[in-house]
Amino acid sequence: MGRVDGKVALVTGGGSGLGRADVIALAREGAKVVVTDIDVEGGEETVRLAGGDCTFMKLDVASEEEWKSVIAKTLKTFGKLNVLVNNAGMLIPGTIETIDTPQWRKHQTIHMDGCFYGLKYGIEAMSQNDEPCSIINVSSTTALLGYSGVFAYAACKGAIRTMSKTAAITCQDQGYNIRVNSIHPGVITTPLVTNMQAGLPDLPEGVEPPAPPIWGVGEPSDVGYMVLYLASDESKFVNGTEMVIDNASIIRP
């Protein structure tokens, strides 16, 4: 028997990286998984890699209408929603001095608006059933520490951290059987991190690509296992928390 047997999960940004690892972990433990992404080819490849009962739906997380449509399709197809992983994201390097307004707004629409719509319509769907439900918002260690070269990204990840806590309290106050937690990966071997370390895309003047941390680099599956735990009923008493996945860099001076 799988750890998430009978649960229906939706993962955003499931076409690669952390999202793909999340899908694979959930599918292998018995969940029915809706894989979403703007990258159709990547999303469909994730479905093939994960096996199990997975289906792909195209979703631009910055679009409220697309969120409504995908949630409605999920409920029509599977009859319920138990797990939502708000994972979709992007990163344009830049300091407070170099980031421009369009880049700032792009971070906001994908990270903050995407998480907002996911929470809003995910909670609406989950509140329709009495089963244990879990929302997992992917933040970052940049929400907990200072990183000069990723100002906009860090600001939005910090917002996701606090949105998670307030949503957890709201669900508890409303008597919903819905937990909301945030996870905070450090440096993980994803295309986003690999491109930054290679200096791609071109970095603004004065912004250096990050070097691999001395305490090591994590694998996407390290995050997938945490998502699996929070999605399962094993974590039924874990709510409104910040789960850090970074091999203890958070406590280094």
Cis before residue 201, ω within 30 degrees of 0? yes
**Active-site residue 229, yes or no?**
no
Alpha helices for the chain (secondary structure H): 17-28, 40-50, 64-78, 101-107, 114-126, 151-173, 191-197, 220-231
> What is the three-class DSSP state of 86?
strand
Choose the catalytic residue: 147, 153, 176, 229.
Answer: 153
> What is the three-class DSSP state of 32?
strand
Polymer length in residues for the chain: 253
Element (H, E) at 84: strand 83-86
Query: What is the C-alpha to C-alpha distance for residues 136 and 231, in angstroms, rounded to an integer?
Result: 8
Q: CA nearest 23: which of 63, 57, 51?
A: 51
Residue 160 structure tokens: 């996701």
Q: Give yes or no for a contact between 135 and 160, defined as CB atoms under 8 angstroms apart.
A: no
Element (H, E) at 189: none
Query: What is the C-alpha to C-alpha distance for residues 133 and 53, in angstroms, rounded to an integer?
Result: 19
Q: CA nearest 99: which of 135, 49, 148?
A: 148
Catalytic site residues? 153
